[in-house]
Each structure stands twice: as structure tokens, then as C-alpha cells.
Amino acid sequence: MVTNTSIPKLFSPHAAIRRLTSTAPNRVAFAVSPAAAQIGSFIAEKPYTPPSWACDLSPVPSHSFTLGQFPTPIHKWNLPNLPEGTEVWIKRDDLAGMELSGNKVRKLEFLMADAVAQGADCVITVGGIQSNHCRATAMAAKYVNLDCYLILVTSRLLVDEDPGLVGNLLVSRLLGAHIDLVSKGEFSKIGSVALTDLLNKRLLEKGRKPYVISGGGSNSLGNWGYIEAVREIEEQIQLSGDVQFDDIVVACGSGGTVAGLALGSQLSSLKTKVHGFSVCYNPGYFYNNVQGLIDGLQSGLNSHDIVSIEDAKGLGYAMNTAEELKFVKDIAAATGIVLDPVYSGKAAYRMLKDMSNNPTKWEGRKVLFVHTGGLLGLYDKVDQLSSFFGSWQRMDLEEFVHAKKALSNVA
């Protein structure tokens, strides 16, 4: 169980609200974050200064938008059956906001600033039919007065049908995003770059000024979102004074989050071992992908030296076994942490499997698990999840009815 003292210690000094003692009797003062205290600072553009340890990277972004609720808290995660002496803590990037929750918002703070700087009037991106990134991009674009065009990948049987209003799709469509559907086969054959280039060409011909965002927001500019997250973790550790992490664990779906964490950890004072659990492609793909992302920042580092990538895709991207979904349900019931089924759910499932199969690898280590959000994806799994729930019943009112009759008889 989390202790009352462990959570506040790992909040940054800029945590949203902290209760402070007041010099005035019977009064309480509150300290709030700059973003919360200053009217107009949310959804505002601001100059960006990188951490001192990242100043040699290039290019360095000049501006970012304030789109998320940062810092996100870190607290102990009371997981069952851990190896002896192992502690797991959790970084709650699922609490970065509602529609913009999760890891995508950190990248979009930089990407949207670049889109605006380039004079764009709309953005284009691509993802799966229940893409968290596409939903977050649609919201971020609307915040900064840009239209949003989404290329969404679905099955061959559904590509000619209305995609519906479930989960992330509902939010994206509420926001007025323009949606183009392609089948999985078309996506595999043509590729995301060619698809976004095609839509970009069509919009340019119509006189629009589009800005293309890579799938997952994962490019060298988007990397800065999780380089900045490492600075945030550093500050939280410095405030706590007595917590140091040996490992960072995160789901790996497009590579940008794990690349930023691994690069930041290597350059900063953290020096933690970063583990990426792949939820789609094989580890070899992601080692190459991360290498390209960090080469784009002229880091001079080798991806194999700064991150360990392991396979967690199971049946495939956004596909789940009954055991994986039951794990998500059981962890929510046991710890109060709701994991999404596509990213963090699979990463946590595989992490605990590895801890069970290789306990000596993890014994005595302090592990920080980064929850990357995506809870809206659960709505797409309702039919598969329904068999795990049975704890309901109609309330028995017979006693109440009998009591009412008895009172009537007395009267």
C-alpha cells in the first residue's frame, strides 16, 4: 500500500496544488503551478530552453506550447508477486490531461509549435483506427486553431464502412477531424510516409498549408518531449531525496518515447537502464528506429548501448489475448491503476512475466514504469472484457416492501 508520505515527496515543486501552513490563524494557503496560477498560460506558446546536459544536441527547438498538465506524479505501485526486494513505482503520464492524456501530449507541445511557426493551417498524421496519437493530435490542433486530417488504418472488411463512434474515434470526430480510411493491407504496401505525402499533395493543390506529423509524433523534434520528461523526473528525484531508480520501463509503439527517455537518461544524472517493450514490430526494427531518432539529434550514441527492447506484441498490434485483458482487469481491481490494452497493459504484462521468469534480473531494483495513457482504447475491447465481470445483482427490496406493508396494516 502507498504510504501518505511517499506521494508528495515525488511531486515536483510545481505540482498543481500543495497545502501549506499559513501564518494567519485558521487560514490555509495554497501553492499552485505557474501554469495553474497565471491566467492564459495554458495553451500558450513559450520559448524553450533545454536542460544543460542536452545543450549539445541539435537541432534544439526554439518554442513549445503548454498543452499538458505537468509534472505528472510518481508514486509507488503495489503490484503483486514481485521478486525479493524489488520496488515498482509509476510515472502517471495518463494524468497529463483528459483528451490529451498520455505520452503524445509531450511530443505535441513541440510539434504544434513548429507547425504554427511554419505558417501551417492544418496538420496531417496517421495511425490505427483507435490511435491515441491521432485523437491527441486532433485535440492539440484544435487548441492552436489548426484543422486536422487523420489517415486511419482499419481492417479490409471495414475500410468502406463508417468507422463509428467508439473510444478515440468518438473524440476525434467530435473535434471535427477529417478522416481518411485505408486498409491494413494498403498501409503495409504503401507505407505511412507515402500516404501522408499523398494527402499533403492534395491539400497543397487546394491551397492549404499542411504540416505533416509522423505516426506517434515520433521524430527528432518529438523526441524532445521525453528528453524534457527526463528533466522532470530528475527534479522529482532531487526533491524526494531518498529515491533513485535503477530501471525505467515503457511501452514501445512508434519509438519516440523510448528514444527520448533513453537519450535523456544517458545524458542526464539518471543513468537508469531503459527497457522498451515493443507492442507492434520486432525489437530489431525498434533498435534501428531509435538509432535514426537519436542520430537526428546528432547524439553520437548507439541505440543498443542506451536501451533494451523486448517483444511484447503478443497476437499483434492492438490485438489481445484473454490472459492479457484479464491482467488489465485484475491490476485495476488490485491496485487502482487502469492500464490501456494496447500499450501500457501489454508492457506491464510482459514486465511482470519477465520478473516471474527471471527474478534474479530484477531482485532488489527500483523500477519506474511510465504509464503512457490511452484509456479510451478500452472501449474498443468491451465485448472481449465483458466475460470477466460478474459482480452485479439487482438490489433485494423485499425487506423494504414487507416493512412498508406492516406499517400500512398498523395504520
**Nearest-angstrom CA–CA distance, 275 and 260:** 12
The secondary element (H helix, E strand) that includes residue 368 is: strand 366-371
Structural contact between residues 262 and 272, judged by C-beta atoms closer than 8 angstroms: no
Q: What's the first-to-final CA gap in the chain, in angstroms?
A: 53
Angle at alpha carbon of residue 163, lines to 157 and 164, rounded to 5°: 130
- The C-alpha angle 247, 250, 255, rounded to 5 degrees, equals 120
Could you tell me whether strands 63-65 and 74-76 are parallel, antiparallel, or unpaired per DSSP bridges? unpaired
Q: What is the dihedral of CA 363, 304, 91, 169, to 10 degrees?
A: -130
- Across the beta sheet with 74-76, the strand order is 74-76, 87-92, 366-371, 247-252, 273-278, 307-311
Across the strands, what pairs with 126? 151
Is 116:43 a contact under the CB 8 Å cutoff?
A: no
Sheet strands (E) in 162-253: 178-183, 210-212, 247-252
Q: Among 12, 33, 101, 131, which one carries the catalytic annotation?
A: 131
Return d(Cα 383, Cα 376) in angstroms, integer.
15
Q: Report the distance separating Cα 68 and Cα 66, nearest Å.
A: 6
For residue 75, the tally of other CB atoms under 10 A from its CB is: 18
Give me 348's grid cell.
Answer: 506491464
The DSSP line for 29-68 is EEEE-HHHHSTT-TT-EEE----GGGTTSSSPPSEEE--S
User: Which value, to the nearest 10 degrees, does the dihedral of the CA atoms of residues 174, 176, 180, 183 take?
Assistant: -10
Maximal CA-CA distance, the chain: 90
Per DSSP, 409 falls in state: H
Nearest to 136, CA basis, from 92, 96, 100: 100
Coil, strand or helix at 17: strand
131: annotated active-site residue: yes
> Which residues have a catalytic role annotated?
131
